[in-house]
Chain A
Amino acid sequence: MKKVIMGNHAVSYGVRASEVKVISAYPITPQTHVVELLSEMCANGEIDAKFIKVESEHSAMAACVGASAAGSRAFTATSAQGLLLMHEMLHWAVGARLPIVLANINRAVGPPWSIWTDQNDSLSQRDVGWLQIYCESNQETQDTVPQAFKIAEELQMPVMLVMDAFFLSHTYEIVDMIEKEQVREFLPPYKPDIKIDTADQHSFGNLAGPDHYMELRYMIQKAMDRGLDVIKRVDSEFEEMFGRGYGLIEPYRCDDAETILVTSGTVASTTRVVIDELRDEGVRVGSLKIRVFRPFPIEDVFEVLSKAKKVAVIDRNISFGAHGIFYQEIKSALYGRTDIPIIGYIAGLGGRDITPKVIREIADKAIGDEQPERYINWIGVKI
């Protein structure tokens, strides 16, 4: 059944369909609707889950860690400062190999206070070991929730679903709703091999000396490596069942493109409008959406971009003192295998609108740019 729903609620309905057993969260704009609706669903029995109210996001993730370790499918959602407060527990979920799913609504980090979107909150958690999937529509957001649980449980790794504040979280659009009866076949109940069980006692979170710690880290990296294939397979299983698939990346009109714009999140959607405009004018241009950011799909990205003559990366984030973060990843994926110029553009921080006009400006600059060694170009800064 199709319905007009908001992006945040698309997450909630995805969680309902995934038959989650424990939800623990602390409210924060622009995420609050996600857990507000989930708490109602728990209260009226639509979801057979325990909703644990906590005093902070650190505790929310700690509760998910405990629940997941005890063998329950666990979920939380947050944004910006909330995600940052969880940081220690995010590491814990990875080290303990717990398949928790977290929805992060990208919100710019303060100060100065902002409630609007940019990606520095989730990208500052790049190295903790969570898988990260960036969504561009309400439909993709809803569908990614059960996919995320399936991926997480197979890899025994936590997954972060990421989406833009307001441009997605507060946007109402048409969603083909998934229901738990259908999803159950795709995502069976979570049955871990090892869990906290008083009848079958083991020690968890113990000390690992220099003799063992490194091997455990190696296994996390191996899980990430395997992750790319698992994500692809899970996505095609989903597509077979529901008729919708999303891939690791999504190239658009890239086949004979001389210039390719690399995008993520809602910007990927708006960019396609500009690509069509430019194509109509005879400009050979395409775009590449990065959906899965961790593990980073190096080979898939290389395959698409290596055919182009120039690559422009649009970053709604910045690693201060370096470059845009997607820019760095793209550069590192292509390094040593091609000498295509890669140009970085910073745009839309703190929720500044990235309109077709802004994307057109970036495309025009990239196509005409004779100095591709400029790593970082700020778009629309009024200084």
Chain B
Amino acid sequence: MIASEILADAFFHEGKFVQAFPAFGVERRGAPVMAFTRISDGKIRERCQIYEPDHLIVLDRVLLSTVNVTDGLKEGGWIVINTNMDIDDEELSGKFRVAIIDATKIALSHRLGSLASPIVNTSIIGAFAGATGLVGLDAVKEAINGFAPIKKEANMQAAEDAFNEVKIISGK
């Protein structure tokens, strides 16, 4: 949820119209949830969930084997995955542009969250910006600076590290 909000705010800082919201389910930290971000040059009028996203961010690679995460994803869209191992999936790489980042490692290196519950929101958004080039690092950092209640510097640095370290598997 937080990642979708930071992403929206980053695009807002670059002059876009934005909307971010969760598909609210179980009220429990760590439960699988979806959140959406809409970005537009004009006013956004759709007020419903997104069923055919242009791009996808996966905060935990385990979701790849438990949920059909690419359901509805448009062909040629970006998938940015938080993983500590290489993704060797020809089907994914054939249809989509895939980028990976060990956002957990980066988050922990900046003491964001704990080993059991690392907070990867800021790293993954940095990686998204780095891989796709759709939004600038400065805008991402500005959004983090506004959103993070504490550890602003650490979060901004984590985003920058991920921005630089993101690895493109296919597509660019």
A binds B: yes
Which residues of chain A have a CB within 8 Å of any CB of chain B?
A: 2, 4, 6, 29-30, 115-116, 136, 164, 166-168, 170-174, 266-267, 269-270, 272-273, 353-356
Q: Which residues of A contact B12 (CB under 8 A)?
A: 2, 4, 174
Instruction: Across the interface, name the chain A residue whose C-beta is closest to B49.
Output: A353
Interface pair B24/A273, CB less than 8 Å apart: no
B144 vs chain A, min Cβ distance (A): 13
A-B contact pairs, 5 of them (CB 8 A): A6-B5, A166-B22, A266-B47, A270-B46, A273-B46
A266 vs chain B, min Cβ distance (A): 4
B18 within 8 A of A: yes
A-facing mask of B25-69, CB < 8 A → 1, else 0? 001000000000000000011111101000000000000000000
Which residues of chain B have a CB within 8 Å of any CB of chain A?
A: 4-5, 8-9, 12, 17-22, 24, 27, 44-49, 51
B140 vs chain A, min Cβ distance (A): 13
Interface pair A171/B47, CB less than 8 Å apart: yes
| Chain B contact surface mostly | mixed
Q: Which residues of A contact B24 (CB under 8 A)?
A: 30, 115-116, 166, 170
Interface pair A173/B48, CB less than 8 Å apart: no
Specify which of B4, B8, B48 is in contact with A356 (CB 8 Å cutoff).
Answer: B48
Interface pair A355/B20, CB less than 8 Å apart: no
Interface pair B21/A174, CB less than 8 Å apart: no
Q: Which residues of B contact A116 (CB under 8 A)?
A: 24
Instruction: Across the interface, name the chain B residue whose C-beta is closest to A171.
Output: B21
B21 vs chain A, min Cβ distance (A): 4
Interface pair A4/B9, CB less than 8 Å apart: yes
A144 vs chain B, min Cβ distance (A): 17
Q: Which residues of A contact B17 (CB under 8 A)?
A: 174
Instruction: Across the interface, name the chain B residue whose C-beta is closest to A273.
Output: B45
Q: Which residues of B contact A167 (CB under 8 A)?
A: 21, 47-48
Q: A4-B5, A270-B48 are in contact. List 13 more A-B contacts (CB 8 A).
A: A2-B12, A115-B24, A167-B21, A170-B24, A172-B9, A172-B18, A172-B19, A172-B20, A173-B18, A173-B19, A174-B12, A269-B45, A270-B47
Interface pair A171/B20, CB less than 8 Å apart: yes
Q: Which residues of B contact A172 (CB under 8 A)?
A: 4-5, 8-9, 18-21
Interface pair B45/A272, CB less than 8 Å apart: yes
- A243–B44 CA distance with the chains assembled, in angstroms: 19
Q: Which residues of A contact B49 (CB under 8 A)?
A: 353, 355
- A292–B64 CA distance with the chains assembled, in angstroms: 46
- A372–B22 CA distance with the chains assembled, in angstroms: 38
- A136–B18 CA distance with the chains assembled, in angstroms: 16
- A166–B23 CA distance with the chains assembled, in angstroms: 8
Q: Which residues of B contact A353 (CB under 8 A)?
A: 48-49
- A4–B8 CA distance with the chains assembled, in angstroms: 8
Q: Which residues of B contact A115 (CB under 8 A)?
A: 24, 27
Instruction: Across the interface, name the chain B residue whose C-beta is closest to A172.
Output: B20
Interface pair B45/A4, CB less than 8 Å apart: no
Instruction: Across the interface, name the chain B residue whose C-beta is closest to A164.
Output: B47
Instruction: Across the interface, name the chain A residue whose C-beta is closest to B23.
Output: A166
- A29–B25 CA distance with the chains assembled, in angstroms: 12
Residue from B4, B8, B17, B27 with most neighbouring chain A CB atoms (10 Å): B8
Q: Which residues of A contact B5 (CB under 8 A)?
A: 4, 6, 172
Residue from A166, A168, A267, A272 with most neighbouring chain B CB atoms (10 Å): A166
Q: Given A4-B8, A4-B12, do A170 and B48 touch, yes or no (CB 8 Å)?
A: no
Q: Which residues of A contact B8 (CB under 8 A)?
A: 4, 172-173
